Amino acid sequence: MSYAKLGLDGLSVPAKIQYGRRLAAALTGNPNFPTPVPSVAALTTGVEELEAAYNDAQAARLSAKTKTGIQDEQNVTLDLLVARLASYVDNASGGDATKIESAGFAVRATPTPIGELPAPTDVQVLPSKHAGSAEVSWKNVYGARAYTIERAEEASTLDWKAIGNSTKREAALNSMVSGRKYWFRVAAIGTAGQSAWSDPVPLFAP
């Protein structure tokens, strides 16, 4: 005796939706199964409800991803603002601990003077799995409190525009047009100000 195979193992939700539709089509008007239980109508309703739920979930994921990206960008921006403010307070206070603390900052242990920072090196820009996005990284610059990143589209004269800041030695980039060529460069920010820019690195947006 033979038995029907469920065929559900390993199916993704989209594949399961298509499978359910195929079953409904095969049973519609099938003389071998004139009154299937559950009915074709019930099966079709189940497929449609799963599809609607799947579409809602996908939309929610996209919205959450977008909002998380905005949050991350604002988080990095605030970090840079605080880093620049700390540099200002250091310079304006003349190293007076009481004045520094009056600005709301704690006082760090006395650092060894570093002076002007070198440009970041080993800048790498790699495409991410999302269209129009990439990941940029570079070697840590000793004494850097933050980093700023600029991007320019391919042109005879590059028009550099600030696109992000980071207190780490990496950052996520987005809002690019797939297939277009872009150039990227990074500078470090320390107590003596901003370093020179790194050598520009190209990338064709994924």
What is the residue extent of each domain of the chain? 13-63, 114-206
CA–CA distances in Å: residue 72 to residues 52, 172, 192: 30, 9, 27
From the CB of residue 104, how many other CB atoms can be counted at a distance below 10 Å?
A: 8
pLDDT the model gives residue 112: 61
Residue type, 52: A
pLDDT the model gives residue 3: 83
Using a pLDDT cut of 90, give the percent of the chain over it: 47
pLDDT value at 200 more than 70: yes
Place of tokens 């499978």: 19
Residue type, 117: L
pLDDT value at 45 more than 90: yes
Question: Which residue in 149, 147, 150 sits closest to 160, CA to CA?
Answer: 150
Residue type, 18: Q
Phi/psi-derived region of residue 150, left when phi > 0, alpha when psi is between -120 and 50, beta in every other case: beta
Q: 18 pLDDT band (50/70/90 cuts)?
A: very high
Q: 111 pLDDT band (50/70/90 cuts)?
A: low
Angstrom distance (rounded) from CA 125 to CA 171: 10
Question: Which residues of the chain form beta strands (DSSP E)?
Answer: 124-127, 134-137, 146-153, 161-166, 170-173, 181-190, 193-194, 201-204
Question: Which residue in 122, 132, 147 sits closest to 178, CA to CA?
Answer: 132
pLDDT the model gives residue 115: 78
CATH class of 114-206: mainly beta
The per-residue pLDDT for range 57-82, each reduced to its tens digit, is 999 988 988 888 888 888 888 888 88
Angstrom distance (rounded) from CA 131 to CA 33: 47
pLDDT the model gives residue 73: 86
pLDDT value at 201 more than 90: yes
The arithmetic mean of pLDDT across residues 94-119, rounded, is 83
DSSP code of residue 106: P
The arithmetic mean of pLDDT across residues 81-109, rounded, is 88
The per-residue pLDDT for range 139-183, each reduced to its tens digit, is 999 989 899 999 999 999 999 998 888 989 999 888 889 899 999
Mean pLDDT of the residues in the chain:
89
Write the CB contacts of 203 (distance below 8 Å, at least 6 apart in sequence): 125, 126, 127, 134, 181, 182, 183, 184
